[in-house]
Amino acid sequence: MDLRITEIFLSIQGESSHAGRPCSFVRLTGCPMRCVWCDSEYTFYGGKKTQFAEIFAKLGQFGCKLVEVTGGEPLAQKNVFPFITGLCDREYEVLLISPVHGLSNLAEIAEAVSQCGLPLRLNLQMHKYIWGADARGV
């Protein structure tokens, strides 16, 4: 199985309660939305079809057990689900950043998160509403 990947890299997590921890990032290519505030247009096209084995090998080289799967909209590629399962099977701690702008009903997501019993957190980022669509660095 494969995923279309924009980039894989090791850095420091800058968001959430995991901020400051070393973190591997797997940035998937593509997003069906075109939000006016988007600062990730470079993820819309291109990328490279990459076999799971190649992704796991690269993550293994980093030696970091925290992995963020992001995009674009990572959930737009159906293979992301078995990929995340594969990460969990390899005992990675997985963070999923899914914009879900307009893709899902937030009330339904919140209900699902509260019901599933998994240590999930629904984090709403409202900064584009507060500072405006063109703001950068907020």
Positions that interact with ligand SF4 (CB under 6 A): 31, 33-35, 38, 40, 71-73, 99, 101
31 or 55: CB nearest ligand SF4: 31
- In the complex with ligand SF4, which residue's Cβ is closer, 47 or 71? 71
Q: Is 40 helix (H, G, I), strand (E, B) or coil?
A: coil
> To the nearest whole angstrom, how small is the minimum distance from the Cβ of residue 99 to ligand SF4?
3
CB of 40 to ligand SF4, least distance (A): 4
Nearer to ligand SF4, 8 or 27 (CB): 27
Min CB(21)–ligand SF4 separation in Å? 23
Beta pairing class for 2-12 and 22-28: antiparallel
Kindly tell me which of 103 and 113 has the beta carbon lying closer to ligand SF4: 103
Kindly tell me the sign of the dihedral angle through the C-alpha atoms of 28, 33, 36, 42.
positive
Burial 70-106 (b: 16+ CB within 10 A, else e): bbbbbbbbeebeebbeebeeeebebbebbbeeeeeee
Closest among 112, 116, 115, 137 to 127, alpha carbons compared? 137
The least distance separating ligand SF4 from the CB of residue 27, rounded to whole angstroms, comes to 10
